Amino acid sequence: METIYHKVAVACEKDEKIFNQLKDRLYAIVLETDGMGWSYHDGMNGIYHRAYYTTCYDSFYQPKKYAPNP
């Protein structure tokens, strides 16, 4: 599941519109993985937040015109 999740997140990093459509679902998956062993949740959380920051912030970590809450 992590591989597919990562592929979706990479697509979101490339297209802000896709991220805005899927961000709630993606974050819900992160929340559902809480408590799973072997740092699975940490990995999913990292993937989500990379997509979030890539989509919502420029290279100087300044918010783009629209930065939804994670």
pLDDT score of 60: 57
> Residue 37 corresponds to which tokens in the numbers above?
């062993």
38 or 29: which leads in pLDDT: 29
39-49 residue pLDDT tens: 888 899 889 88
Interatomic CA distance for residues 15 and 11, integer angstroms: 6
Which range of 26-30, 33-37, 52-56 scores highest in mean pLDDT? It is 26-30
DSSP assignment of 14-43, as one string?
H-HHHHHHHHHHHHHHHHHTTT-TTTHHHH
pTM greater than the 0.85 cutoff: no
Q: For residue 67, which amino acid is it?
A: A
Distances (CA, A) of 66 to 7, 57, 60: 23, 9, 15
Phi and psi, residue 60, nearest 5° = -105, 15
Q: Is residue 61's pLDDT more than 70?
A: no
